[in-house]
């Protein structure tokens, strides 16, 4: 119940009238949201794990957040989780915790790290690629494992030692593939389709 409450609050925070109007009046933006939702759902299905619930997989939310912005990225995550709930064994009781820990918390963290980079680091093409996309994605991937570890320990699903031995150490391993995939995706997009990346500003990152 607590997880559903927090998830609902975060989803309410994403609501913006002008953003919704722009989405409803732009078929291209709608296509982008649906495409990103499908990509996330597919990524989240490619997973591995030793014990139930303790799955590791590529998130991809950092790239989606940089491309769509945090509001539309949250909508993409909601649609992706809904697809998993409908087509996979994800139960209704698991819906809110999954959406919160796998999507919304990493999206907020990704955007927060981007804002910090934007305000405190030089606005340069390579800074955007290697810090905003690559390094931040790796940190978010590791943070997601840590959040899940804390949640499953707090909720009593697994004791701490089990989580430490079978799950927490994956945070050291997952950061590089997470960083690589997100970094490569953003590099390709800002090289060939920079207008698709909402947080990439040509005048600031290229005119250097």
We report the CATH number of the domain holding residue 181 as 1.10.1760.20
Q: CA-to-CA distance for 28 and 21, rounded, in angstroms?
A: 13
Classify residue 20: in a domain, yes or no. no
Domain that holds residue 181: 26-205
% of the chain beyond a pLDDT of 90: 54
Q: CA-to-CA distance for 93 and 138, rounded, in angstroms?
A: 29
Classify residue 4: in a domain, yes or no. no
Position 132 scores a pLDDT of 92
What are the angstrom distances between the C-alpha of 84 and each of 1, 59, 123, 153? 20, 14, 37, 24
Is the Cβ–Cβ distance between 63 and 186 less than 8 Å?
yes
Is 102's pLDDT higher than 60?
yes
Residues 6+ apart with CB under 8 A from 97: 3, 151
Is the Cβ–Cβ distance between 104 and 80 less than 8 Å?
no
State pTM to two decimals.
0.92
Which of 20-24, 93-97, 115-119, 124-128 is most confident? Answer: 115-119
Token pair for residue 39? 């990509």
Average pLDDT over residues 39-68: 88
- What are the pLDDT digits (tens) for 106-116? 999 999 999 99
Q: CA-to-CA distance for 164 and 139, rounded, in angstroms?
A: 18
What are the angstrom distances between the C-alpha of 101 and each of 77, 86, 122, 154? 11, 19, 31, 14
Distance of CA 84 to the CA centre of its chain: 16
Is 127's pLDDT higher than 70?
yes
Classify residue 3: in a domain, yes or no. no
**In which band, very low, low, confident or very high, does the pLDDT at 3 lie, cut at 50, 70 and 90?**
confident
Position 125 scores a pLDDT of 87
Classify residue 83: in a domain, yes or no. yes
Classify residue 105: in a domain, yes or no. yes
- Domains: count for the chain: 1
Token pair for residue 123? 């606005």
Classify residue 15: in a domain, yes or no. no
Classify residue 61: in a domain, yes or no. yes
Classify residue 10: in a domain, yes or no. no
């Amino acid at each position: 119940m607590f997880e559903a409450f927090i998830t609902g609050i975060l989803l309410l925070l994403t609501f913006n009238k002008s953003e919704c109007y722009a989405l409803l009046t732009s078929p291209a933006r709608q296509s982008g949201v649906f495409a990103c939702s499908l990509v996330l759902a597919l990524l989240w299905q490619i997973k591995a794990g030793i014990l139930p619930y303790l799955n590791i997989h590529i998130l991809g939310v950092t790239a989606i957040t940089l491309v769509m912005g945090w509001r539309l990225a949250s909508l993409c995550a909601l649609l992706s989780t809904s697809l998993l709930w409908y087509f996979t064994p994800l139960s209704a009781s698991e819906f809110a915790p999954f959406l919160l820990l796998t999507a919304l918390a990493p999206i907020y963290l990704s955007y927060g790290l981007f804002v910090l980079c934007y305000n405190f680091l030089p606005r340069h093409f390579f800074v955007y690629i290697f810090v905003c996309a690559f390094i931040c994605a790796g940190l978010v991937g590791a943070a997601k494992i840590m959040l899940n570890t804390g949640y499953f320990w707090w909720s009593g699903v697994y004791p701490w030692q089990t989580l430490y031995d079978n799950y927490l150490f994956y945070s050291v391993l997952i950061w590089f593939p997470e960083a690589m995939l997100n970094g490569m995706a953003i590099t390709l997009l800002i090289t060939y389709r920079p207008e698709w990346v909402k947080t990439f500003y040509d005048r600031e990152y290229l005119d250097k």
